[in-house]
Structures are given as C-alpha cells and as structure tokens.
Amino acid sequence: MSFTVAIDGPAAAGKGTISKAVSAHFGFAHLDTGLLYRAVGAKVAEGQDPFRAAEGLVPEDLQRSDLRTLGAGQAASRVAALPTVRVALVDFQRRFAESPEGAVLDGRDIGTVICPRAQVKLFVTASPEVRAHRRWLEVGGDEAQVLAEVIERDERDMNRTDAPLRPAPDAHLLDTSDLSIEDAIAQAIALIEAKRG
C-alpha cells in the first residue's frame, strides 16, 4: 500500500522546501501541484486542446525547462479557470498519490480535496509578515507591496468556492514563523516517522 503525505499551506510558508526535503529523506515521489497548470498551459500554447492536454499529462511533462517563465504563468492562470481542466488534474494528482514508493504532494487542497485519506497531512503556515518578507527576499521590490499582495492572495485562496485553502480537520499545523528551515524540516520528518511507526 502506498504512503501519502499531503502538505498544504499559503504562499511562502515553506511547504515546497519542506516537501522536497521530506521526499528526499523518505525516497518518496514529489509533486508540486502548481506545476500542473503551468504544464497544461505550455501545451495549450503549443496548440493542444486544454482538456486533452490536462487529461494526457504525464510526470515527464513537469520536467520542462520553460514552466517557471512569465508566459507559462499567464497560460496557467487561463487554463486554471476551466472546470474540465481542473477535473482532469484532480485525477492526475490522485494517481500520483498512489505511487508505490510513497508520495508527497504540496498545494492548497491536497489534504481536503485531493487526498483526504492521506496517512499524514501537514498544514504549513507562517504569519503574513514573515511570508511577505521571504517572498520579498526572492523577488525584491517594495516590501509593503509584497505584503499587500500576500494578504490579497490569502483572501482569494481562503474564500474561493472551489477547494478553498484551509487545513484538513486532521492536519498537523506547522507554523514556520519562528523556525529555521532545518527545524521545520526536522519537525515534518518526525511527524511522518511517528505515523509510519
């Protein structure tokens, strides 16, 4: 039986970094679910039908070197609005979660919608100010504006009708506001090891 770890949380809380570290530690497959929409958007930009692109998505599609570009992000936001694409990508994520070697999926609705039966659910968070500072260190610009954007995105993610961002009732809350990344990873690994027995 596969072992699934669902890691959710808002932007810049550390869930991606923790997910990659957990995946490497346990030898689990890792899926950054945000890349899915970028990969579909890239295929659509090449002329594919959005639903067929989503339905035919394979893990290798997520290795493309052009998925972090501005164009891929714009294409992703367009295809993410299509219900048929969202349904197809739910299926992809659920198939990925059944990886025989174990799987770590990170996103915003993994523990609540995609993998409600995951053996371990983490909700990684941090204060908006801490997350904005982390994002500002990455992208620069006006830190106050970055904070405003983080708060705006939180509002949108938490209040959307389709799969809002919220911790699953049985998720472990991991607040990284005052933790080093090493301590946050260590806590996540300890929680998973305890669950694995």
Task: Judge whether 69 is annotated as a binding position.
Answer: no
Task: Judge whether 15 is annotated as a binding position.
Answer: yes
Task: Judge whether 102 is annotated as a binding position.
Answer: no
Containing 125, the helix (H) or strand (E) segment is: strand 120-125
Task: Judge whether 132 is annotated as a binding position.
Answer: no
Could you write out the DSSP letters of every residue in 2-56?
A: --EEEEE--TTSSHHHHHHHHHHHHT-EEEETHHHHHHHHHHHHTT--HHHHHHT
Task: Judge whether 12 is annotated as a binding position.
Answer: yes
Task: Judge whether 10 is annotated as a binding position.
Answer: yes
Task: Judge whether 17 is annotated as a binding position.
Answer: yes
Rounded CA-CA distance 161/66 in Å is: 30
Task: Judge whether 34 is annotated as a binding position.
Answer: no
Task: Judge whether 20 is annotated as a binding position.
Answer: no
Show binding-site residues. 9-17
Show binding-site residues for ATP. 9-17
